[in-house]
Structure 1
Amino acid sequence: MAQDGKRFRISRRLLLGGALAVGGIGWAGSTLARLARDPSGPKDAGRIADADGMGLASPPPRGLPPHDPELPWLSRGGALNDASALSRTPVYGVVGVTEEDHVARALAFARENGLKVSMAAVRHSMGGHAFDDHALVLDMMGFDRIELDEKAHTVTVQPGATWHEIQNVIHPRFAVKAMQSTDIFSVGGSISVNAHGMDHRAGSIAGSIRSMRVMLADGSVVTVSREESSDLFRHVVGGYGLFGVILSATLEIVPNAIYRTSRSIIRSAEFPEVFANEIGAEDGPSLFYGHLSTAPGNFLDDMIVYRYDQTSEAVPADMPPLAEPGAVAVKRVIMNLAKQGGFFQRLKWFAEKNLEPEFESCTVPRTQAMGEGEACLVSRNDPMHDSVPYLFNDLAGETDILHEYFVPRSEYLPFIDAARALLRDQDLPVLNASIRVVDAEDIALPYAVEPAFSLVLYINQGTDEAGNASMRKLTRALVDLTLLHRGRFFLPYQPHYTAKQLLASYPELPLFLNTKRQYDPGELFTSTFYRVLKSMAGDAPLPGPA
C-alpha cells in the first residue's frame, strides 16, 4: 500500500507538472497569436487634450446646415482619427471625392454655409493635420487616377493615389524617382509634408514635381510649378493642405534599374565618414538607409547600412510583378515583443542582424543574376514597395508614434551621443531608429535649411494620460536637444512641442501663416494642426528682409 501511495503521489506530481507545461504552452501560443494578429480595424483611443495649454476640442457651431444631398457623403457627422489613434475629432461630415466636380461643389457648399474644409487620405500624420472639429472633410482616397506618359517619363496622378498603386502601374519599365520610405502614403499627403525617402540623390518629393493643378478656396483652379505661380508652389508643397486642394500632380519617373544589394554593420560614429566617402560619393549606391540598434548594450551604437548599387544589367523581359511583403506575422511578433523590455530588444536586433538576410527576396530571375555571381539582385521598385503591414497590430491600450529630427551634418556626432543618453534615461520603448539624408529645402516651411542628417524614431506609448504625459516630456526634451544642435523637428507628428520650440525651429512660421491668409482670406482650409500653429505663433512678428 505504501508503494502504491507513493506511486500515486508521483503520478499526481507528474500530472500537475504536465498540466502546467500544457498550460504554459497554451499561454505562450495564445500570446504569440495575439501579438501576430492582424488589426481588426483602425485604433481609436480618444484624443490628446491640449497642445501647450491650448485645448484642442471646440464646441459645435450653432445652426449647422443640413447636408447637401447632391454631395457623395461617406458619413454625415461622426468622428475621425489618425494613425496615432489619439486624435479622435468630431466632423460635420465626410465627402468621398471621386471627381473634380465633387471638390468644387463641396467648397461652394462650405463657403455658402460658413463651414471649414479639411483634406484627408491615408491619415498617417499624427497631429490632426487631416481634419478639424466640425469641418467638412474631403476624403481623397477614391480620387486616384494614374496616367503614365512613357515618352515624357512622367506620371500624372490624382492626390488619393498611393505610391503602392503607382508602382504597380509603372513597373517593370519605370520606377518612382522620389517617395517616402514606405509606399502606403497618398501622393497628396506626401506632397503636403514634402516627404523624403531612400534616394538620397533624388531628394524630397518637391524635386520630382513637374507641376500641379490646385483648386483654391474661391473655387478657381491654377497650375503651379517652380516656374509658374512659384510662390504658391512653395506653399502647397509642405503646406499641410492649408493653401488649396491638390487636384493632380505630374511627377518625374525614372527608368527601372537593377541593383545589387549589400549590407554592412558599422559603428554609428563612423556614419558621417562612411557617407562622405562611400554612400554620398559619385559612384556610391542609388538607394540606402541606415538602421540603428535599439538593443541595450549598444543602443544607437551599431548601425546596419543597407546599400542598393546599380548594375549594368538590363531589366529582364520576364521581370515578375512586384511582390507583397512576406513573413508579416513573424515580423509583427518580433516588433510587439520588443515593447516588453531589454531581452526582447536584444532578440529583435539579433533577428535584424542575422535572420533578416534570410528573408531577403532577390526578385531578378536567377538566369539573369548568374551574371552577378551570388549577388542578390532586385529592381529599383522592390525595396520601395513595402507597405510595412507588420507595424500595425490589434493590441489595445498602446500605440506607436513617429518622430523625426534634422540636424546639420556637422552636428551628427554630438547630437547622436546626446540623443543616446536622453533616450536611455526614459521609459518609453524605442522600437526603431534610423538615419536618413536630406538637403536644404526651397519651400516656405522647410525642415532643413542646409544639408542635414535626420534621426527617425518609432516609439511605443500607452494611450492613457500617463502615456501621453511621458511622450510629451520626451518630445520636448528631444526638440530642445535638436535646437541645441541647430536643427529642426518634423511637423507631421504629435503637437507636444511648445510655442517657443515651434518658433525657434520654424522662424518662417509667421510669414507662412500671413501668406496663407492672403491666398485663403476666409480661412476656409483648416485643421486641428492649423489651429495649433495659429495659437502658438500668436502675435509673433513677421521676419524681416533677408
Structure 2
Amino acid sequence: MAGASALAIAAAATTLYVRPLIADPAGIKDCGSVLPPVAAERGRSAAVAEPRWSQRGGTVNDASCLSRTAVAGVVRPRDEADVATALAYARAHGLTVSAAGVKHSMGGQAFRAGGVVLDMRGLQAIRLDEAARTVTVGGGATWHAIQLAVHPRFAVKAMQSTDIFSVGGSISVNAHGMDHQAGAVMNSLRSVRLMLADGRIVTASRDENAELFRHAVGGYGLFGVILSAVLDIVPNDIYRSERQLIDYRAFPATFARIAADPSVGLSYVHLSTAPKTLLEEALVYQYRRFPEDQALVRAPLAEVASTKVRRLTVNLAKKNDLFKSLKWWSEKNIEHRIETCTVTRAQAQGSAEACLVARNDPMHDSVAYLFNDLPGETDILHEYFVPRDRIVPFIDGMRRIFRAQDANVVNASIRAVGVEDNALSYAPAPAFSVVLYLNQPTTVAGNERMRRLTSDLIDLTAAQGGRFFLPYQLHYTPQQLERSYPEVGAFFAAKQAWDPDGVFSNSWHARYAPFFAKQPAATRPSITSGAPAA
C-alpha cells in the first residue's frame, strides 16, 4: 500500500512538473523592458483624419518579451489607403511611425516609445504568376502562407529557415535561410513597393530607384513602409534527406564539398550543446536532388507534428546538463529514425532507404514548440557572421565564453551566406552564420549576464573579422556597432536624406542614430515613378 502511495505521489509530482513544460502559451509573453529609455516625440498638431486604431495607447512588446514599450497606438491597415492615413496623422502630430510584422526582432526594431505602430499583417495578398516564376505578396504575408499558395509545383527561392516571419520583416533585415546557393532574401527579390514618409508610393529594384532598394533591404523599416514585393520562385524539387556527424574542425572541408555539389539544394549544421562535447560535434544536414525522384508525387504541406513532445524536449534542455546531453543524444540517434518523409519510400523506386521530402517541407515550420508559458524566463536569439576561413577559431572562442559565463545554450547552428550588397550588409564577403538560441532569467541579474555575454561575443566576432546581426537585443555600444559596421554613419545620413522630418523610427534607430548625427548629410537621389497614395 505504501509503495502504491509513493508511486501515486511520484506520478502526481511528475505531472505537475511536466505540465507547464508542455503547455501551449496563453498569449505573448510580457516580461518588462531592457530597452534604453527614449523620450516620446510629440510636436505639431493639425486637423487630419484619425487612423483606424486597433489599439489606442497602451504598450507593445516583441518576441524577447523584454521590450515593453508605451506607444501612441497600433494601426492595422487593411489597404494602402489606411497606411497613407496613418502616415498623414503621424506627420500632423509629430509622431514617429514603425512598421511591424510578427515582431520577432528582439530589440524594439518594430516600434518606438510614443510612436505609431503599423501592424502590417492585414496586407497579406498573394498572387502567383507561374509563367514569370514569381509571386507578388503583401508586406504582411507570412512565408507560411506563401508556401501554401505556391505548393506543390513551386517553392520560394530564399526565405528564413522557419516560416513564421512576415515578408516585410524578412526584407527589412535581409534574412537568409537554408539555401546556401540562393543567398539572402535580397537575391530573390525582383522589386519592392514602398510608401515613403511623404505618402508617395514608389517601386524600387536593382534597376529602378536602385539606391533606395539597397537601403530599404536590410534597412529596418527606416526608409519606407513595405507594401508589397515581387519574389522569385523555383521548382519544388524533391530532395533526399541526408545527415552526417563530424568533428567541428572538419566543417570547412565538409562545406567545401557541399558547395561544389550542385545537387545539394539546402544545407545547415547543428552544433552540440551537450556539456561534454559543447560545440565540438556537428550534425551536417543536407538535402540532395536526384533527377529520378522528380516525377514522384508531392504531398500536401503538413504542420510539424509532436509539438508538445518537442516543447518538452526543448524546455527540459534548459533545466540542467543532463537534459542537454539527452537532447543532443536524441538528435544524433533517434530523430532521423522518426523523420517525416512526405514522399513515401514505396514511391521512391531505386532510392533505397532515403527519406524524401519536397523543398518546401524542411522550411514549413512555424516553431510552435519554441513558445511556452514558463514564467521568469525567456529565449533569446543571437547571430554572428564570420569569415569562412575563421569559423574554427571563432567556435573555439565561443566555447570558452560559454563555459566561462555558464551560458544556457539551447541550440547552435551554422548556415552559409554569400556576399550581400545592401547598404548595411552583414556579409560584405562570404561568411558562415552562427545562430544561437539562448535561455535567460528575466531578472535584473539575468539581463545583465545576457548583456555581458552579448558584448563578449560581439568582440570575439570583430576580432575574427566578422559582424553581428542587428535585429536582436541592444546590448552593444555605439562603438561596437561602428566597429562592426563602419558604414553605419553613412546609413543614418542616408536615412535622414530620404526622411528629413524623421517620420520613420524605432527603438534601434533612437538608441544609435544620435551618436552618428555629425555624419555629413547625404544627398537624396531623385525618385522615378513616385505617385501619391490612392
TM-score band, normalised by shorter chain:
over 0.9
Q: Quote the sequence identity (%).
A: 54
* 1:247 Cα deviation after fit: 1.1
Q: Does 1:524 align with 2:503?
A: yes
**Pairing of 1:204-353 with structure 2 (within 5 A):** 204-276=184-256, 278-313=257-292, 315=294, 318-353=297-332
The verdict on how the C-alpha distance between 1:338 and 1:65 changes in structure 2, with shifts beyond 3 A counting, is farther
* d(CA) in 1 for partners of 2:448, 2:355: 45
* 1:370 Cα deviation after fit: 2.5
Counterpart pick for 1:183 among 155, 158, 163: 163
Q: Kindly provide the CA deviation profile for residues 105-130 of structure 1, in whole angstroms up to 9, marking residues without a partner as x.
A: 11111112211111011000000000
Matched residue, 1:383: 362
Which amino acid is 1:489 matched to?
F
Matched residue, 1:460: 439
Contact map agreement 2:41 2:115 (CA 8 A) in 1 = no
Matched residue, 1:163: 143
Counterpart pick for 1:428 among 404, 407, 417: 407
* d(CA) in 1 for partners of 2:5, 2:506: 56
Contact map agreement 2:239 2:358 (CA 8 A) in 1 = yes
* 1:404 Cα deviation after fit: 0.5
* 1:427 Cα deviation after fit: 2.6
* d(CA) in 1 for partners of 2:254, 2:134: 33
Q: Kindly provide the CA deviation profile for residues 374-419 of structure 1, in whole angstroms up to 9, marking residues without a partner as x.
A: 2111110100111111111110100000001111111111111111
Which amino acid is 1:192 matched to?
S
Q: Kindly provide the CA deviation profile for residues 469-499 of structure 1, in whole angstroms up to 9, marking residues without a partner as x.
A: 0000000000010011011000000000111
Counterpart pick for 1:93 among 73, 78, 82: 73
* 1:428 Cα deviation after fit: 2.9
Matched residue, 2:529: none
Q: Does 1:396 align with 2:375?
A: yes
Q: Kindly provide the CA deviation profile for residues 232-287 of structure 1, in whole angstroms up to 9, marking residues without a partner as x.
A: 000000000000011110000001111011111001110001111x2111345110
Q: Does 1:148 align with 2:142?
A: no
* d(CA) in 2 for partners of 1:126, 1:67: 33
* d(CA) in 2 for partners of 1:434, 1:537: 33
* d(CA) in 2 for partners of 1:383, 1:437: 17
SS at match of 1:238: coil
Q: Does 1:502 align with 2:481?
A: yes
* d(CA) in 2 for partners of 1:66, 1:105: 12
Which amino acid is 2:13 matched to?
W
Matched residue, 1:474: 453
* d(CA) in 2 for partners of 1:66, 1:347: 63
**Pairing of 1:45-64 with structure 2 (within 5 A):** 45-50=31-36, 56-58=37-39, 61=42
Which amino acid is 1:58 matched to?
A
* d(CA) in 1 for partners of 2:14, 2:103: 34
The verdict on how the C-alpha distance between 1:89 and 1:66 changes in structure 2, with shifts beyond 3 A counting, is farther
Which amino acid is 1:29 matched to?
T
Which amino acid is 2:140 matched to?
G
* 1:65 Cα deviation after fit: 8.1
SS at match of 1:523: coil
* d(CA) in 2 for partners of 1:261, 1:417: 29
* d(CA) in 2 for partners of 1:185, 1:191: 10
The verdict on how the C-alpha distance between 1:24 and 1:407 changes in structure 2, with shifts beyond 3 A counting, is same
The verdict on how the C-alpha distance between 1:542 and 1:300 changes in structure 2, with shifts beyond 3 A counting, is farther
Contact map agreement 1:213 1:248 (CA 8 A) in 2 = yes
Counterpart pick for 2:467 among 470, 474, 488: 488
Which amino acid is 2:204 matched to?
V
Q: Which runs of 5+ in 1 are unaligned?
A: 1-13, 51-55
Counterpart pick for 2:5 among 19, 24, 27: 19
Matched residue, 1:77: 57
* d(CA) in 1 for partners of 2:39, 2:93: 18
Contact map agreement 1:316 1:364 (CA 8 A) in 2 = no
Q: Kindly provide the CA deviation profile for residues 302-339 of structure 1, in whole angstroms up to 9, marking residues without a partner as x.
A: 00011100111455575321010011111111100111
TM-score (normalised: structure 1): 0.93
* 1:165 Cα deviation after fit: 0.2
* d(CA) in 2 for partners of 1:372, 1:255: 21
* 1:104 Cα deviation after fit: 1.1
The verdict on how the C-alpha distance between 1:121 and 1:370 changes in structure 2, with shifts beyond 3 A counting, is same
Which protein shows a greater Rg? 1
Contact map agreement 2:41 2:94 (CA 8 A) in 1 = no
Q: Kindly provide the CA deviation profile for residues 350-379 of structure 1, in whole angstroms up to 9, marking residues without a partner as x.
A: 111112113311101444213312211111
Matched residue, 2:104: 124
* d(CA) in 1 for partners of 2:291, 2:157: 19
* d(CA) in 1 for partners of 2:194, 2:35: 33
SS at match of 1:286: strand
Between 407-416 and 489-498, the greater mean CA deviation after superposition: 407-416
Counterpart pick for 1:28 among 6, 10, 14: 14
Q: Does 1:43 align with 2:29?
A: yes
Counterpart pick for 2:175 among 195, 200, 220: 195
TM-score (normalised: structure 2): 0.95
* 1:539 Cα deviation after fit: 3.8
SS at match of 1:461: strand
* 1:460 Cα deviation after fit: 0.3
SS at match of 2:405: coil
Contact map agreement 1:315 1:379 (CA 8 A) in 2 = no
Matched residue, 1:442: 421
Two-structure CA RMSD over aligned residues (Å): 1.8
* d(CA) in 2 for partners of 1:509, 1:347: 43
SS at match of 1:497: coil
SS at match of 2:74: strand
Contact map agreement 1:266 1:302 (CA 8 A) in 2 = yes
* d(CA) in 1 for partners of 2:41, 2:484: 33
The verdict on how the C-alpha distance between 1:542 and 1:303 changes in structure 2, with shifts beyond 3 A counting, is farther
* d(CA) in 2 for partners of 1:46, 1:60: 22
Contact map agreement 1:290 1:436 (CA 8 A) in 2 = yes
SS at match of 2:324: helix
* d(CA) in 1 for partners of 2:41, 2:87: 20
Q: Kindly provide the CA deviation profile for residues 150-170 of structure 1, in whole angstroms up to 9, marking residues without a partner as x.
A: 000000001000000000000
Which amino acid is 2:427 matched to?
A
* 1:47 Cα deviation after fit: 0.4
**Pairing of 1:109-120 with structure 2 (within 5 A):** 109-120=89-100
* d(CA) in 1 for partners of 2:101, 2:301: 23
Contact map agreement 1:178 1:196 (CA 8 A) in 2 = yes
* d(CA) in 1 for partners of 2:169, 2:204: 17
Contact map agreement 1:319 1:365 (CA 8 A) in 2 = no
The verdict on how the C-alpha distance between 1:184 and 1:66 changes in structure 2, with shifts beyond 3 A counting, is farther
* d(CA) in 1 for partners of 2:35, 2:363: 36
Contact map agreement 2:493 2:519 (CA 8 A) in 1 = no
* d(CA) in 1 for partners of 2:134, 2:33: 40
Contact map agreement 2:44 2:94 (CA 8 A) in 1 = no
* d(CA) in 2 for partners of 1:145, 1:250: 12
* d(CA) in 2 for partners of 1:410, 1:60: 46
Which amino acid is 2:469 matched to?
F
Q: Kindly provide the CA deviation profile for residues 489-525 of structure 1, in whole angstroms up to 9, marking residues without a partner as x.
A: 0000000011111110010011000000111000100
